[in-house]
Structure 1
Amino acid sequence: MGGSVFYLVHHAFLAKGQATRMMDPSRTPGLGASGAVNAIMLLDMFLNPKATLYFDFIIPVPAMLLGIFLIGKDILRIIEGNSHISGSAHLGGAPVAAIAWARLRRGLF
C-alpha cells in the first residue's frame, strides 16, 4: 500500500504540471509489487546493516551500503522520469520498512 500511495501522489503531482511535460502520467500503469519487495529488502537491511550481501551475485557489499544505493537509484529514477520503472512506488516501500523496523525495535510486533 505504501508503494501505491507514493505512486499515486507522484503521478498526481505530475498531472498538475502536465502542460509542460510530454508524457501523460495518467497513462503510465502502476503494476506489480515492487514497493512491497523493496520494503522487505530494506527491512532486512535495516535489521542487519553489517551483513554482507552480493551485488549482482558477485561483489560483496555491506547491507547498509546496498540499501543507500537502492534508495538513491529510485530517487534518480524519479528525477530522470524513467516511465518504465516506478521509482516512486519503490520509495513507498522505504517508509514502510522504516516504520516496521522502529516497531520491531520497540517490541510492538
Structure 2
Amino acid sequence: MITLVLIAITVLVSWQAWQRPRLLDRLMLWPPAIDRQRQYDRLVTHGFVHADWQHLLFNMITLFFFGRFAEQLVTQMIGPVGFVLFYLSAIVIAILPSYLRHRHDARYRSLGASGAVSAVLFAFILFNPWGLIFVFFLPVPAILYGVFYVGYSFWMDRQGTDNVNHSAHLSGAIYGVLFMLLMEPRIAGHFLSALMNPSF
C-alpha cells in the first residue's frame, strides 16, 4: 500500500536525519535557503523529517489509520499515482502560508508531515463525518473532532506561544477538503446527507 510506503520512507528519512544533523538542516524548511539558494526542494523534504520520535509517531499513526482510507478514495478517482501527488502537494500547499509569512526570517524553521496528514485526515472527515476518532482512547465523532481541530489550530496560530506550526495544520485541512471536492464534486452532497443522518 502506498500509505505504508510513505510511512516507511518518512520513518527512514527522519531516523537518518537524527543521526546526521547536517542532513536534518538540509531537509527542513528554512526560508532563506529557498530565497537565496533556490533550494525549492525544501518545500517537500521538510515533510519527511521530524523533530523527535514523539512528533514522528503521532503523525505516522494518524497517517496509518486515515491514509489508507484516503488512498482508497483517491486511487478510485485518479489512480495510485494521484494519491502520491495528493500527499506531496499537500506537504507543499500546507507550508506555503508559513513560508510566505516568514520568508525573510532567518530564525524560522519548520519540519514534519503534519500539514499533509491534516489533508488526509480531513479527506476522511469529509467522506465519513460520523466516523469515530479515538482521542486518548475516547471515541469522538469525526466532524466534532474536525471542528475542534480547526478552532484550536486557528486560536493557537494566533497566539504563537508554542513551536507547533498550526498554520500548516489549517492549510492542510482546507487543502484536503478542496482537493476531494475538486476531484469529485458529488462528495459535497454525500457529506451533507451523511451529516444530516448521524450514524456511529
Query: Does the CA-based 8 Å contact 2:98-2:168 persist in structure 1?
Result: yes
TM-score, scaled to structure 2? 0.43
Question: Within 2, Cα distance between the matches of 1:61 and 1:82?
Answer: 27
2:113 to 25, 33, 55: 33
**Counterpart residue number, 1:79:** 158
Q: How many residues align?
A: 95
Question: Within 1, Cα distance between the matches of 2:173 and 2:135?
Answer: 19
**Counterpart residue number, 2:99:** 8
Q: C-alpha displacement at 1:83, in angstroms?
A: 4.1
TM-score, scaled to structure 1? 0.75
**Counterpart residue number, 2:16:** none
**Counterpart residue number, 2:75:** none
2:124 to 24, 41, 44: 44
Gaps of 5+ in 2: 1-91, 187-200
Q: Which amino acid aligns with 1:59?
A: L
Structure 1 segments of 4+ aligned residues over 2 angstroms from their partners: 9-12, 103-107
Question: Within 2, Cα distance between the matches of 1:26 and 1:45?
Answer: 36
Query: Does the CA-based 8 Å contact 1:54-1:60 persist in structure 2?
Result: yes
**Counterpart residue number, 1:63:** 142
SS at structure 1 position matched to 2:184: helix
Gaps of 5+ in 1: 16-24
How many percent of aligned residue pairs carry the same amino acid? 28
Q: C-alpha displacement at 1:101, in angstroms?
A: 2.2
Query: Does the CA-based 8 Å contact 2:121-2:173 persist in structure 1?
Result: no
**Counterpart residue number, 2:181:** 102
**Counterpart residue number, 1:92:** 171
**Counterpart residue number, 1:22:** none
Question: Within 1, Cα distance between the matches of 2:172 and 2:126?
Answer: 13
SS at structure 2 position matched to 1:27: coil
Query: Does the CA-based 8 Å contact 1:77-1:86 persist in structure 2?
Result: no
CA radius of gyration, larger in: 2
Q: Which amino acid aligns with 1:54?
A: F
CA offsets 1:34-93 (integer angstroms, 9 cap, x no match): 11011111111111101112112x211110000111111111111111341011111110
